[in-house]
Structure 1
Amino acid sequence: MANDRLRDALERSRVSPAELALLTECDVKTVSRWLAGRVPHPRTRFKIAKRLKEDEDYLWPGARRAVAEASDSAGMVHFYPRRGAVPPNLWDRLLDGAIAEVGILVYVGMFLTEKPDLLDRLREKAESGARIRILLGDRESSAVKQRSVDEGIGRETISAKIDQANAFFASLSDVPSIEVRSHSTVLYNSIYRFDNDMIVNPHVYGKTAPMAPAMHLRKTSTYGLFDTYSDSFEAVWGSTKPDESRR
């Protein structure tokens, strides 16, 4: 359906499609599509509304609400351009709030081991009834070796870090509700689950994990992103076996 409100606003403001294209750094064909009913990107909508001195919701009724509803239904709470941008207090808040389930899927997760009270907090969670599952990389797996090469840090670097992570978590081996396993899968995403909240860190070729994006997800009433990554975690967990040497 044609956007007559946008067309009328252009005429009232005496702004031509060519001028609008210049303003938004788009071509005139794109402006024609907007006039025909296509909805511009949110930042572009804001720029157009400001230039035409019109309310964005008047020019594109329901557009902002539709984006919000789509985000809610998918379970996306917040997107971070880098994992390093996730606020430290968010990790603490999610861990503190977890009652039933904590799941960690990484190769190393070294930044977690820098929390001085992490082991005590995990032990307390487990003793209160929470299930704690930690998946670390198999230091000898080809996937781990390749990831280390891909990050440009040397073939054995991640394997050495895995040794450190295993040593760090070793003191939890006597806690029945905590299980640490090794996996040899390609780590497309690091996953950190805290009951119905989750931080997912998709990996990028040539970049270390802190420099790759992170998503804060929340479980929704219908199947969403949280469930997609939860299924992935379970698939990796199901591909491993308990390591009796940890007991």
Structure 2
Amino acid sequence: MPNDRLRDALLRNGLTSVLIAEKLGVDPKSVERWMTQDRTPYPRHRHAIAAIVRESESYLWPNAVSPEKAARIAQSEVVQIHPRRAAVPPDLWGRLLRNAESQIGILVYAGVFLVEQEPKLISLLRAKAAEGVQIRILLGDPGADAVALKSVEEGTAGVMRAKIEQVMQYYGHLRDVDNVQVGFHQTTLYNSIYRFDDEMLVNTHVYGFPAPHTPVIHLRKLSGGGDLFDTYADSFDRVVTASRPAWPTEAAA
């Protein structure tokens, strides 16, 4: 059975069996067998290929990584766990935003705190977008049941909708900016996710507590790959798919 994931990863990165063989110091025929016959490379070669194509070993070779090793890798992706969002150093948010080179992702209900503690957030995002960074911002749909329920659960009925409308006054300045996507989602969030390239801050949601008082997990994706970071990244992408644009397109206007 061919390894289509490996073949696709190499093609997306402009790599042939000959080029990857030269990088690894192996016979090109071996690389062909890895793709066409689903042969499993030695661990050192798996790690090198995963790093080159920026995919996880567990994705490229699902059966090659034992559950025990996969668990160890996932643990290694955890940089730090902060007991509450308010305990996250303010300069960490700024560093992650400014160091992003390929993508910034924000998945929240409102996330007003971000524009409050980063007064130049909008101008920073505009500058990043001009550099080619892909920016995706997903806010709760003001009319969604999940938004109303979140307010009730936090004991502040109706406040969440007002927060979303407040923060949209800031993000409205990003309308029609290239490389920026602002959308509304109606999903029930179990976590707020903030992604900056291969680093991520996951603000867990705990029933009855507002987000500033719940834990934040700082993750960094390993070059060899781990399932923990990818799980949250996949969740983010699923919400993107289910979201709607914050502003109508010209065709729909």
TM-score, structure 2 as length reference? 0.68
The 1:157/1:246 distance shift into structure 2, 3 A limit, reads farther
Q: Which residue of 1 aligns with 2:133?
A: 130
Task: Give the unaligned 5+ runs of structure 1.
Answer: 1-65
Deviations 1:28-77 (A, max 9, x none): xxxxxxxxxxxxxxxxxxxxxxxxxxxxxxxxxxxxxx9xx937654100
Stretches of 4+ moved more than 6 A in 1? none
Q: Which residue of 1 aligns with 2:88?
A: 86
Paired residues, number: 180
Alignment of 1:137-148 (within 5 A): 137-148=140-151
Q: AA paired with 2:243?
A: T
Q: Which residue of 2 aligns with 1:211?
A: 213
Deviations 1:170-208 (A, max 9, x none): 011021111100000001100000000000001000000
Deviates more, 1:235-244 or 1:130-139: 235-244
Q: CA deviation at 1:240?
A: 1.5
The alignment status of 1:98 with 2:126, answered yes or no, reads no
Task: Give the unaligned 5+ runs of structure 2.
Answer: 1-67
Alignment of 1:93-242 (within 5 A): 93-114=95-116, 115-154=118-157, 156-220=158-222, 221-242=224-245
Q: Which residue of 2 aligns with 1:75?
A: 77
Check the 8 A contact 2:153/2:208 in 1, yes or no.
Answer: yes
Deviations 1:120-157 (A, max 9, x none): 10000000000000000001000000000000012x11
Q: AA paired with 2:120?
A: D
Alignment of 1:44-59 (within 5 A): none
Q: Tell me how far apart the structure 2 counterparts of residues 160 and 133 of structure 1 sit (CA, whole Å).
A: 21
Check the 8 A contact 1:73/1:222 in 2, yes or no.
Answer: no
Q: Tell me how far apart the structure 2 counterparts of residues 170 and 82 of structure 1 sit (CA, whole Å).
A: 29
Q: CA deviation at 1:245?
A: 3.0
Q: AA paired with 2:183?
A: R
Q: Which residue of 2 aligns with 1:43?
A: none
Q: Secondary structure at the match of 2:206?
A: coil
Q: Secondary structure at the match of 2:200?
A: strand
Q: Matched residues, percent identical?
A: 48
Q: Tell me how far apart the structure 2 counterparts of residues 72 and 149 of structure 1 sit (CA, whole Å).
A: 34
Q: Secondary structure at the match of 1:176?
A: coil
Q: Which residue of 2 aligns with 1:26?
A: none
Q: Tell me how far apart the structure 1 counterparts of residues 74 and 229 of structure 2 sit (CA, whole Å).
A: 12
Q: Secondary structure at the match of 1:99?
A: coil
